[in-house]
Structure 1
Amino acid sequence: MPEIFKDSRGYWAVAIELPAGPDGGRRRKYIRRRSKTDLVEERDRVLAALDRKGDLRTSSPSVEAWADYWMTEIVAKTRRPKTVASYRSVIENHIVPVIGGTRLDKLNAAAVRKVLARMESAGLSSTYRRNAHGVMAAMFADAEREEKIDRNPVDLVLRPRKAVADLEVLSVEEAQRLLEAFSASPDAYMWATFILTGARRGEVIGLEWDRIGEDIDLSWQLQRLEYAHGCRGRCGLPRPSECPKRRFIVPEGFEHRHLQGGLHLTRPKSRAGWRIIPLVDPLRSILNTAREAATENPWGLAFVSARAGVPAPIDPDEATTRWNATRDAAGIERPVRLHDLRHTTVDLLDAAGVDMDTIMDIVGHSTRAMSREYRSKANRERMRQALLAMSGSLGYDAY
């Protein structure tokens, strides 16, 4: 058993002999702890790992270096673009600034808690802190899998408890008022589509005219994809989007159609999102009117942005900004988000007496693990009657 001693700084220490290196030189792994009890515990754990693996590392990359490798070689190749962007934001803004310089093999539960504590003190929501916990758990799980660390320190830290959030959902009266006020908005047709379908932001701004007929085909959504350097950073430009050999970050097998700049049409993340819903009045009449007044564009999009008279796909963030302006102009003082309109649609359908299975089919909220690729005519008729019932609750017989 290796001898325990006190080093020059007063720490309890032990040197564990490792197999000789390629040059035959002596290799040892040093462990230091303030507490002798902690040292003995760590020594026994390391000796067990040495006995199991036959050798141990004596060097380790920093958290920042591992995060960079992990994002480039693992996440970007396996996760959806929106997930990649979300992970990168958490890593660059919250993980690296706090523990980026820490060696992977020196990570412990205290380091993980430090990241979460800094986020809490900055006033960030429990949901965002839970996301950060999940990112660190995944990042260090892959480090453990590739034997960069012996155990994942995030396993020792409880995930932040999710706070109960009050959703800002429109009442039936507010929804009616908005639909009436929309006539003064250049985006009137688009906002009506959000409320009367419960579709997601990307699904509505990515709607193409050839997917609107007797039904609305919601099998594509508009998203912004991130660029990566195509030159492996040799161009010296700080932003990947400026690289002459730039490429989009997309995982293998990811379906996407390029529109303009970083904007693409992509498939929903699950088959449950690939849905076709009936087109009934008043939305049928609304979209027929919209088609007649539509701005021609090379992508066949139903809704576009027209700056300086030049049509362009609507950026997701731009859609949110425009919704906030329209909501405020309509006198809705509560901070109802664009995504909250989905919850409004669910409430309206429920108030109209629609069963939950049909509601889940319409808005794509189902979590069942069965294929949703085929929709029967009977199921389509069930959704049609549900949408008609909801329109009736809003006081519409025709538009």
Structure 2
Amino acid sequence: MQRFETRSAANAALRDLRQQKHHLGGVPTASPTVREWFDKWMRIAIVPRKRPRTADTYRTYIEQYIVPALGPTTRIARLDPDRIRRIETYVRGKGLSATTSRNAFHYASSALEFAVREGVLLINPASRVEPPLAGVPDLDVFTLDDAVLLLRHLMNHPDRALWLTYLLTAARRGEIAGLEIDRVGEVLDLSWQIQRLAYSHGCTKPCGFARAGNCPFRKLQMPNNYEARQISGGLHMTRPKSKAGWRVIPLVEPLRTVLLEHMDSMEPNEWGLLFAGRHGRYGYATPPDPDRISVEWPKLRDEVFGAGRRVRLHDVRHSTVDLLYLAGVSEDLIQEIVGHSTRSMTRAYKSRSDAVRLQDAMHKLSGILTQPAPGRKLEIDG
């Protein structure tokens, strides 16, 4: 039996029940728990419709933030605004960012909105709560001088082909790691990327393996329209997440010469990949692992700039966008080069520390103000 602290709270709950009976034709006798409902939401609404990596992100948020904050055994009918606000408190209490708490709130709200559509709830309790404010990203991006310094360093680096491709194309980590030789010519065809996908158990009885990847009946859960082809183990070639990501960009100097030299000197591999490597005691060929590339990047960055810089590999995309703006490339072409679906997304990648272009703009403004029009004498009061 549910108890209320005040008569007004009891009356409000009674009104909700009456509305629920009116709209839904009845009142559920038992509400699912937070754990039960979010598991069902993942199974029905997320896994069959979202890309595997996206579904993994949802699952992480649910397991690590949302369910612990709301309480796994709490009935979702008992969720109120105060309990919803616990999500932000819980996330920030772990020392995580405001953006993480905002994401967790929106994922929880989506799951509860699904409960409304399913007739399990009358009202989404998260709709009564203001979402957490997103934090302001504090990105460290390369300036023009930084990029030139890195470019010079890479010209004599053993892996210069890999790193220069990141710097000069603004392509994503998996797009470069997954480049196949037959997609490199006068242009770079970025219509595929390499990703590590997580398997799930496919056994009906416990197979004895803790890791789903070792299960004899392992399977990949993905939407019907998701394209993936296995390379090795959990590494798969997949399509970029949006049609805008399926792009072809011209291959120009100095990257063209660097890649041609790389292809002439590289050893063939069974996957036809441009950046397959040799690792291990016996130097066997392995496909490029995006996670390994992310580990190697800080080593290169610190080698060039010393400790203290925070430029992540993905942030190199921001730097390349800055350089394209600086070079005077039109915004619609920048959008096409980096594979953004909207111009607003491209602008969001542009750094706010573009001192060179800002200085040039102010010089142009000053020139307009200080040079009189033909036949007129410039007069400045004071």
CA-CA distance at 1:72 after TM superposition: 2.3
How many pairs does the alignment contain? 340
Matching residue's letter, 1:141: E
Query: 2:4 and 2:267 mapped to 1: Cα distance?
Result: 69
Q: Which residue of 1 aligns with 2:219?
A: 247
For residue 88 of structure 1, what is the aligned residue in structure 2? 59
**Structure 1 residue 246 displacement after superposition:** 0.7
1:161-198 CA-partner distances (Å, limit 9, x unpaired): 12222321101111111122224544321110011111
SS in 2 for 1:33: coil
Change (3 A) 1:279 1:91: same
Matched residue, 1:339: 314
Percent identical residues: 42
Match of 1:37 in 2: 8
Aligned mates of 1:240, 1:109 — CA distance in 2: 37
Equivalent residue, structure 2, for 1:258: 230
Partner of residue 152, structure 2: 180
Q: In the alignment, which residue of structure 2 is the partner of 1:156?
A: 128
Q: 1:230 aligns with which of 180, 202, 206?
A: 202
C-alpha distance 62-355 of structure 1, shift in aligned 2 (>3 A): same
* Structure 2 unaligned residues grouped into runs of 5+: 345-382
TM-score, normalising length: structure 2: 0.85
Structure richer in strand, relative to its length: 1
TM-score w.r.t. the length of structure 1 is 0.81
Give the aligned residue type for 2:324: L
From 105, 108, 133, the equivalent of 1:133 is: 105
Displacement after TM superposition at 1:236 (Å): 5.5
2:251 matches 1:276 = no
Greater alpha carbon shift after TM alignment, 163-172 vs 232-241: 232-241
CA shift at 1:54, angstroms? 2.3
Structure 2 Cα separation of the partners of residues 295 and 101 of structure 1: 56
In the aligned structure 2, how far is the partner of 1:148 from the partner of 1:49?
Answer: 9
Are the equivalent residues in 2 in contact too, given 1:185–1:326 (CA < 8 A)? no
Structure-2 change in CA distance of 1:165 and 1:215 (3 Å):
same
Give the match's secondary structure for 1:299.
coil
1:224 Cα deviation (Å)? Answer: 1.4
Q: Which of 29, 53, 72 is the matching residue for 2:24?
A: 53
Structure 1 SS opposite 2:133: coil
Matched-pair contact (CA < 8 Å) for 2:332–2:343:
no
Structure 2 distance, partners of 1:368, 1:334, is 28
Q: 1:96 to 1:232 in 2, by over 3 A?
A: farther
- In the other structure, the counterpart of 1:20 is none
Q: Map 1:373-388 to 2 at 5 A.
A: none
Cα distance in 1, alignment partners of residues 156 and 100 from structure 2: 36
Is contact 1:256-1:264 (8 Å) kept?
Answer: yes
AA matched with 1:325:
K
1:385 aligned residue: none
Measured after TM superposition, the shift of residue 115 of structure 1 is 1.8
Q: Is 1:361 aligned to 2:361, yes or no?
A: no
Q: Is 283-292 or 300-309 further displaced after alignment?
A: 300-309
Tell me, in whole angstroms, the C-alpha distance in 2 between the residues paired with 1:160 and 1:253: 33
Which of these residues, 214, 218, 224, is aligned with residue 190 of structure 2? 218
- Letter of the aligned partner of 1:274 in structure 2? W
Match of 1:315 among 271, 289, 293: 289
Conserved? CA contact 1:109–1:153, under 8 Å:
yes
CA contact (8 A) 1:31 1:39 kept: no
Amino acid at match of 1:314: P
> Corresponding residue for 1:397?
none
**What is the SS of the residue equivalent to 1:143?**
helix
The one-letter code matched in structure 2 to 1:55 is: G
What is the CA deviation profile of residues 219-246 of structure 1, one whole-angstrom value per residue up to 9, with x for unaligned ones? Answer: 1111111211112464354432232211
Instruction: Find the partner of 1:66 among 37, 45, 70.
Output: 37
Letter of the structure 2 residue corresponding to residue 52 of structure 1:
H
- Counterparts of 2:106 and 2:222 in 1: how far apart (Å)? 21
> Could you tell me how far apart the structure 2 residues matched to 1:279 and 1:227 are?
36
Q: Write out per-residue CA displacement over residues 296-344 of structure 1, whole angstroms, 9 at most, x where no aligned residue.
A: 2111111123212122222222111111111111125311010111111
SS in 1 for 2:305: coil
Q: CA RMSD in A?
A: 1.8
Q: Distance in 2 between matches of 1:120 and 1:129?
A: 7
Name the SS of the counterpart of 1:56 in structure 2.
coil
